Amino acid sequence: MLSTVEMSRLTMAGSSDNLDEALRLCANLGNVHIKPYSGSTDGISVGTPHPDADDVSTLLAKVRSVNSVLRCSNKEGPMSSKKVKDAISGKFPAKVDSITEVIAKKSDAEAEISKLTERVAILTTIAPLNLPVELMTEIASVDVYLGETSKASKATQVFGELSSRVEMHVAENVIAVACQGKDAAEVQMALGELGAKSIQIPSGKGKPSKLLEQASKDIDILEKTVADCDSEMQTWSQSNGRMLMAVQEHLERESEILTGHTLCATSAHAFALEAWLPTSEADKARSVFSKVSSHLTIEAFVDDHHGHGHDDEHGHETEYPPIEYDTLAATRHASLLTNLVGRPKYGTIDPTSIIAFTFPIFYGLILGDAGYGLVIMLLALFLKSKIGHDPVGATASRILMNMGIATFIVGVLTAEAFGFVIEKWDAFVWLYEPMYSGTKYALQDTVFIEWFGLSHTYLPFHRAGGALQDYILLSIYVGCAHLLVGFIIGFINVFKAHGIVPAFFEKGSWLMILIGGSGHILRFITDSSYDTFEGSMWSYTVIAGVVCLIIGLAVYEGFGWLGGLIMGPIETFGLLANTLSYLRIMAVGVAGVKIAEIGNEMGFHGMADSISSGDYIFAIALFFLWIGVQVFALALGLLSPSIHAIRLHFVEWMGKFHDGSGEEFKPLGGRSLHVEGH
């Protein structure tokens, strides 16, 4: 759950006659990630694609082009491989060609409409001149200029005596000037003085009004063509969309197999390839590949690199296997978030399962409104109904649903719904009276009050009211706990890679600083007799942690002693900034509460007062104001808490342990989604 799939290295060599079959067997297994060959040895080169690869690529390009326009979907599940192959060898390529022609026809029509629309705009502008177009374009001995200006009435004044040497027509805001070449410069200067915008003279013969009428008719014809094409494309998509998705997946798989030769080392008579596959599949792979290889080894990857600086000293880096997630099905959706900062390095702890829980919890702690939580859950269900057939869409809707659930739960605990405090509402008295009486004194005379200062932590938790101070403290405590988990994960990662001593100085030092610093500050807050620079086990732990950090930076991180002495104390204050960053849980949460609260005061309560006083028109205006504020608060609630919750994970937390350099595991032939029975 907290680690990735264990990988083994596969090395295979055999006769070049068996390469095609070997690659197909790799694809059939569905779990072989081939490493590209990049060596340079005499007599050995990168393989060349299979001769059939060009035909497959050509058809694949057509299918992808069609799918990029039609955006087909498959909500009915995978199709059999035999059915897909029969379609490809049958009439389906012709169907693809036919719809490609329709798409091209629509594209041409839209391009022509765009040109005609520009022509209509120009003709509409110059129509008031009522001059035949050929008169402005077919007389070679004169230059004709058209311009549009709001100062057309001043044209005679601006042109002055030049008017006697040119032919000028003015209608509304349009000026047409015909002149000899020697007067062209003066005409352009005069038009510039009028601020005239140049108009390109359209082609054609006849008056603009007649040409405008013809252009409008042409647009109508082309728009009908576009509508007919759209209808034909929609019908085709409904009839063939599922098959198109399956064919594209099949062709992509075939293309990878037929071009897989370029990943292998080949000679005149033999081939060799290196790959990764899950260790659990090693026995099966060994029995399958033994038939097409003369040499075959499958060895589990073992990272024997336990000394810091090992790579640098020997001039090479350890080649790690690609990363395949091994999370539970219930938490696999969170891999979408982990991928945003990169897959974990092989052999380190995978934070995906933890993020699956902590991200929605942080989001819920920030937004924390039962009403908004219900809306978000409904939005998640809507998205699932629309894009749930796509893996990314299903994952996104799952994450959104978890965010909504967490928001709803926190909203119930804080007695907030759409910015209203619902604790005293008659419909909820049955819930909150027992909740209040059962938790009001639950923490009395416990360490939560004496040590942690949580004197107002009971339910319902009024975070923007009497419990604001506790809300601040809880945000800090959540941050300390979150960072503590991050440093523990980092400690384990370094311990597994380099041993206990580097782990202690690199991550153990941070654990000492975090624990000691948290204890020191907590004592200062809750104990009035405790001084800022009080000597205690907490402060001594911080000092010891800083010393260990300096050693870790100097010896194990390569900073040197001078760098360690300088950076150690500086980075300690960076940890303080990381911890205080969790105050955004409180700050953004309270800001959201106040926005909704102000909207309710101005809109809802104002509307109620207006109705009571009989001012119904003003009440309607206030109703729309209230709805507008609620929509704004919800939109802000979807965006802002998401950003801050993600930041707390990616920057403050994962920065303490996550490498993010893992390569994605990509089996040859891809993963089957629309085709079964490969």
d(C-alpha 343, C-alpha 350), whole Å: 8
Q: Which DSSP category does 201 fall into?
A: P
- Contact predicate 665/26, CB 8 Å: no
Q: 425: which DSSP letter?
A: S
Question: Can you give the residue range of the structural domain that contains 183?
Answer: 131-206
- Residue ranges in the chain modelled with pLDDT below 70: 305-316, 678
Locate 171 and state its tokens. 């209608």
The answer to whether residues 79 and 226 belong to one domain is yes
Cα(208)–Cα(172) distance, integer angstroms: 15
What does the H/E/C string look like for 440-467? CCCCCCCHHHHCCCCCCCCCCCCCCCCC
Looking at the 3D structure of the chain, how many domains does it have? 4
Residues 315-355: tens digit of each pLDDT: 457 889 999 999 998 999 999 999 999 999 999 999 999 99
- Whole-number pLDDT of residue 581: 93
Q: Which residues contact 373 (CB under 8 A, 6 or more apart)?
A: 364, 367, 404, 405, 406, 407, 408, 409, 410, 411
| Pairing of the two strands 675-676 and 79-80 | parallel
545 and 485 within one domain: yes
The reply to whether 617 falls in a domain is: no
Boundary residue ending a domain (551, 573, 595): 573
- Which among 225, 278, 205 is positioned nearest to 10, based on CA atoms? 278
pLDDT, position 312: 47
Give backbone dihedrals phi and psi of 641, rounded to 5 degrees, phi first. -60, -35
Sequence-distant (6+) residues with CB within 8 A of 489 are 349, 351, 656, 657
pLDDT value, residue 310: 43
Residues 141 and 282 in one domain: no
- Predicted pLDDT of residue 308: 52
Tens-place pLDDT, residues 101-121:
999 999 999 999 999 999 999
Is residue 245 domain-shared with residue 97, that is, in the same domain? Answer: yes
Q: What is the pLDDT of residue 92?
A: 95
The first and second tokens of residue 631, run together, are 């929509």
Whether 45 and 111 map to the same domain: the answer is no
Instruction: Give the pLDDT score at 341.
Output: 94
Q: Are residues 6 and 150 in the same domain?
A: no
For 493, 512, 517, the CA distances from 537, given in Å and listed in that order, are 28, 11, 10
Establish if 15 belongs to a structural domain. Answer: yes
**Token representation of residue 208:** 């603009």
Distance CA 198, CA 121 (A): 13
Domain boundary among 269, 302, 335: 302
The two most distant CA atoms of the chain are separated, in Å, by 105
Q: How far apart are CA 144 and CA 132, in angstroms?
A: 13
Distance of CA 246 to CAs 56, 71, 304, 676, Å?
A: 14, 13, 44, 9
**208: part of which helix (H) or strand (E)?**
helix 208-258
Residue 644 lies in a domain: no
Residue 465 lies in a domain: no
The whole-number pLDDT of residue 313 equals: 47
What distance in Å separates the CA atoms of residue 413 and residue 330, rounded to the nearest whole number? 25
Same domain flag for 96 and 226: yes
Q: What tokens appear for 614 in the block?
A: 């009989």
| One domain, residues 158 and 111 | no
Place of tokens 């303490």: 656
Tell me which residue has tokens 């589990």.
300
CATH assignment at residue 33: 3.30.70.260
Return the amino acid letter for 52.
D
